[in-house]
Amino acid sequence: MIEASALRKRYGRLTAVDGISFKVEPGEVLGLLGPNGAGKSTTMKMIAGFLTPSEGTARVYGHDVQDDSLAARRVLGYMPEGAPGYGEMTTRGFLGFIANMRGLSGDQRRQRLDFVIGRLSLQPVVEQAIDTLSKGFKRRVGLAAAILHNPSALILDEPTDGLDPNQKHEVRGLINELAEQRTLLLSTHMLEEVEAVCTRAIIIAGGRILADTTPAELLTRSRYHNAVSLHAADSIAARAALDGMPGVSGFENDAREGRLYVFPQGKGKLAEPVAERLRQRQVAYSDLRIEHGRLDEVFRRITTEAQA
């Protein structure tokens, strides 16, 4: 369990984190979402015990990060942004160092090292210096270092940032696997990541929490949620046919996609009536579907409204 209560961090006159509170339970994957400079990393650094909060505190499985810092750090695995490692060390040497820092020894040490090297497929690079690794491997070494002591809580700062799509997929698969039995907190500014791995999302901007909910609920806040989109050869005719129809609040034509979006009034369901109406008016259409909503639109609206 990770718990932040009224965390605040000031740098001179700048308040980077302005009273953030949340609680992550075991089995949950909480995504901290926000534009650059929103205070995501600062929040994580305070929970990880690197930065001292100006006010408020955080607890990791009951251990206060200020009063009982070492105990909190023992149950926590933390991967800083960019997964830094000692460049001149080999992968094996580096992980061995982390194992020593974590107080692992003997059989247990060997087992955990073998496990993380196998689990993250690091065998090809165990004898290679970290400086010479590709970005994907470097990130995997960073993840291996974070989970080496089998921590109950895990904090990952932008775990997939800068990776190619295949590597992202791989890392997300791993995160999903790690999430069982653990408490996971990760930050990202990639919205598809929230849908892919998070059970809950917190949107932060300007150091404050603007939304704390599930990705599915966030989607319902999108104006595209429950909208109907279709492809019509004659979009003007389609629009004319649907104009004034009860339950329709508006239209939008996406010229690039060649799709017409029909927005419902309130929470109404539109798919059936729209299809029916178009058939009645004999307007040809294809590929009609119900939209789930767009996270990027919700994200933009929430974060820009806060600034205004």
Partner 1 sequence: MSPTQAVFRREFGSYFATPLAVVFIVIFLMLCGAFTFYLGDFYEAGQADLQIFFRFHPWLYLLLVPAVAMRLWADERKTGTLELLLTQPVTLWQAVLGKFLAAWAFVGVALALTFPMWITVNWLGDPDNGVILASYLGSWLMAGALLAVGSCLSASTRSQVVAFILTVVACLLLLLAGFPLALDPVRAYLPQAAVDAVSGLSFLTHFQAITRGVLDLRDVMYFLLSIGAWLLATVLVIDLKKAD
Positions touching partner 1 (CB under 8 A) are 11, 45, 48-52, 70, 73-74, 76, 78, 80-82, 84-89, 93, 97-98, 100-103, 105, 129, 145
The amino acid at residue 222 is: S
Q: Which residue has the tokens 């104006």?
A: 223
Q: Round to whole Å and give the CA distance between 190 and 188.
A: 5
Do 115 and 147 form a contact (C-beta atoms < 8 A)?
A: no
Task: Give the bridge partners for 76, in sequence order.
Answer: 153
CA neighbor of 154 nearest in space, from 235, 78, 52, 218: 78
Q: Which is nearer to partner 1, 97 or 115 (CB)?
A: 97
Supply the minimum distance, in Å, between the C-beta of residue 66 and partner 1: 13
3 CB-near residues (< 8 Å, 6+ apart): 22, 23, 24, 58, 59, 60
- In DSSP terms, 33 is beta-bridged to 188, 203
| Closest distance to partner 1 from the beta carbon of 50 (Å) | 5
* Beta carbon nearer to partner 1, 3 or 157: 157
Which residue bears the tokens 């500014």? 189
What's the closest the beta carbon of residue 80 comes to partner 1, in angstroms? Answer: 4
Closer of 163 and 230 to partner 1 (Cβ): 163
- What does each C-alpha distance from 226 to 170, 184, 221, 266 come to in angstroms? 31, 31, 10, 10
Task: Give the residue with the Cβ less far from partner 1, 104 or 191.
Answer: 104
Nearer CB in complex with partner 1: 101/233: 101
Residue among 16, 32, 26 nearest 158 (CA): 32
Residue 228 identity = V
Tell me how far, at minimum, the Cβ of 97 lies from partner 1, in Å. Answer: 5
Q: Taking the complex as a whole, how short is the minimal distance between the CB of residue 92 and partner 1, in angstroms?
A: 12
Which of residues 47 and 298 has its CB atom nearest to partner 1 in the complex? Answer: 47
For the bound state, the minimum distance from the C-beta of residue 199 to partner 1, rounded and expressed in Å, comes to: 24
